[in-house]
Structure 1
């Protein structure tokens, strides 16, 4: 029986990278196998109640949690986590087999940062976990001669990725092509793409797409900025293209996300309605 599984790398200390909360033993074993591909230290719980206790005790870097569980479900557990000062900043990714839009929106509303659909795709799981772990666990930084923030004892690949990410965030609306980006950080396109694949679980522009969607989700949930302005600021050619990409990524339109997260209906027109885009 799985309950509080030992860490995958017990020799590396007692810290937990990922806490898995799911009432399905089969899903937990599958996720543990995936995490082992990245040498991540894992702990597991079979219920929301136990998962909350594990989170308080272990303070993991990331939580992957099933939405539908008996007793305290994922939504309730996430609410408790976000109400607890010691763990409220830990990112939560929901695991769900449901195609229910209201369920996804409720998950974002209570503080989840992402969701992963069942059945799991290994590349998707590792990519999304890698992205959120990297943002959570950015090491202490110093400044290199080119002005890029880098960890004090980083490997060259980490330095390249951090420098490239800084450039991409600064030019997110009109980023350089891969060759130009590689030259800006002092490498070649092949090595840069390989470094992103190894450290982020996806190539350079796959990471950039995710970064755009994270920023869009943040602005939609926390501001009243018109969708057209968000679209332009993130480099989308039209508001309709932005809305289509957002729906594909989060399973709902920008206006639906804003209405749920801010608890109101915006007067700003939804590009979906005028462009004929449907899920």
Structure 2
């Protein structure tokens, strides 16, 4: 299987995160023949740790895994400075179109279905490694990469998720599950890190976003209410006035005169 097109695999480091890694022995062996170093994580949380500690060139990631699925792993990796630019290829039997779209919109570089053709997977890996300096050359000898505290990663992922869904906020249990935790722990993280509950933060974020839209756009108060997740313009105006002692309309006029 040696050929010039696969030379880009030599001296690279790939992290495989899959709860049944033995099923991928043929792919792992093919990669090792090409001179690739492989690290295997058979648990999602172990994979998150290895990604931060080892700084691989590329990650092969399963979707359906116990405790934390691959989408959660991808979402959390994208919040870690040392990991956010590592190409992630989903390698999974999750063939539903929704799964494929979720994986790609969440930050995955590619999505390959099992059963796979080894040659295709190798070719896709080469494509996503093109132009990347191997991690062994990017890291200075003796440099220890600092691991992000799990609570901080979960908080950042939850904040990003909520900001993208202000107009149709999922239930707390769903938000927590999508960032790899449960509702009680997520609530505790918000209180410890931000000094407020999840929904108190959501309310503040909705009002902050309202301020931003009032200043930077000319869309109506009704449309702003819908966009930030208030049930009506009247409810938005009441909350805004309670928080800032001025109505949204007056706030906009004041800013226009500044």
* TM superposition score category, shorter chain reference: 0.3 to 0.5
Higher relative contact order (CA 8 A, sep 6+): 2
| TM-score after normalising by structure 1 | 0.43
Identify, as 1 or 2, the structure richer in helix: 2
| TM-score after normalising by structure 2 | 0.46
